[in-house]
Amino acid sequence: MLNVAEGKIEQQLHLKRLALRTLQINVGKLCQQRCTHCHVDAGPKRREIMGQAVIDKVISFLKANPVAKIDITGGAPELNPHFKNLVKTLSRLTDHILLRTNLTVMFEAGHDYLPELYKAYNLELIGSLPCYLAQNVDKQRGNGVFDKSIRALKVLNDIGYGQDGSGLVLNLVYNPLGPQLPPPQAKLESDYKRELLSRYGIRFNRLFSLTNIPINRFKNYLQAEGRYDDYMELLKANYNPATVSKLMCLEQISVDWTGKLYACDFNQMLNMCLSNGKPVYIDQISAPQLIGLDIRIAPHCYGCLAGAGSSCTGSLV
């Protein structure tokens, strides 16, 4: 068992990949927002965007290696100029597509078609809303983001998302505002449901509670506040061995805008690529060849292993 008091996690935790179930596609780092906790360092000035040539390679991989789930992320994925066609093509390859949306992107010029597109392809939406209180959301995501997010959720509710019996799934994502572990997911979900319904008449399906991973912008924030070491100690002190067998990196692979593969989006942001001595691109490997490959572990992995655990679809245990 991992002894968190001794040695480095990368020397103690040895994980090998299982059969592939989910392909997470990061279509680029462009985003109209610039949130303080963003592990992608996304923002309006980022120019890393997946082009058609890489999209074609991703599609070829999926045709040869069907997966249960496709998870589209960014940046704001909808700002990729190929987004609409990507969704259309992917929908022919799987009936389960997750889209990570910042919600507010539907109000960007020329993007008012998005709600109907989501619905037409039955995308399962995962929208960021780190709190049901305006001041907390605006502090993390920028002034006015909370009001826009609420407007977006109302638009989605009006076309059926989050409504009983519609089959249109709307999930929300919570992450702590600062260097704390998230509270228990089930309790938080019922608080969100009660508050969003009573304050704004908004309904949604599930709440995913995520731990902030100490990399990139969130790490910079912690270091600027002199709290990075304390946060790492908090994560280590709450290491939970029951999370290990549920880690998302066991059955998921993440592809970046250039086609390079990683165990997860966090490793992607640290350029810890899948490697057999050199980076592996999506057109260089098949799903069966991924099985048994080592998963690269580093101190940020404590973020997934602490407390109830954390993944792109919430708590693990």
Interface ranges with ligand SF4 (CB under 6 A) = 31, 33-35, 38, 40, 42, 74-76, 102, 128, 141, 247-249, 263-264, 266-267, 295, 297, 300-301, 304
- Smallest gap from residue 267 Cβ to ligand SF4 (A): 5
4 CB-near residues (< 8 Å, 6+ apart)? 236, 237, 239
- Smallest gap from residue 249 Cβ to ligand SF4 (A): 3
**Between 57 and 141, CB nearer to ligand SF4:** 141
**Between 111 and 163, CB nearer to ligand SF4:** 111
- Taking CA atoms, 86 is separated from 80, 221, 275, in Å, by 10, 34, 27
54 CB-near residues (< 8 Å, 6+ apart)? 257, 258, 259, 282
**Between 160 and 176, CB nearer to ligand SF4:** 176
Exposure of 130 in the CB half-sphere (CA atoms within 13 A): 21
Find the farthest-apart pair of alpha carbons in the chain and give their distance in angstroms, rounded.
Answer: 55
- Smallest gap from residue 303 Cβ to ligand SF4 (A): 6
- Contact between residue 170 and residue 204 where contact means Cβ atoms under 8 Å apart: yes
- Smallest gap from residue 170 Cβ to ligand SF4 (A): 17
**Between 90 and 274, CB nearer to ligand SF4:** 274
- Smallest gap from residue 282 Cβ to ligand SF4 (A): 18
**Between 55 and 210, CB nearer to ligand SF4:** 210
- Smallest gap from residue 194 Cβ to ligand SF4 (A): 25
* CA dist., res. 171 & res. 55, Å (int): 26
* CA dist., res. 146 & res. 129, Å (int): 8
* DSSP 8-class letter at 242: G
Residue 49, strand partner residues: 28
- Smallest gap from residue 92 Cβ to ligand SF4 (A): 27
**Between 15 and 159, CB nearer to ligand SF4:** 15
**Between 61 and 239, CB nearer to ligand SF4:** 239
* DSSP 8-class letter at 296: P
- Contact between residue 300 and residue 266 where contact means Cβ atoms under 8 Å apart: yes
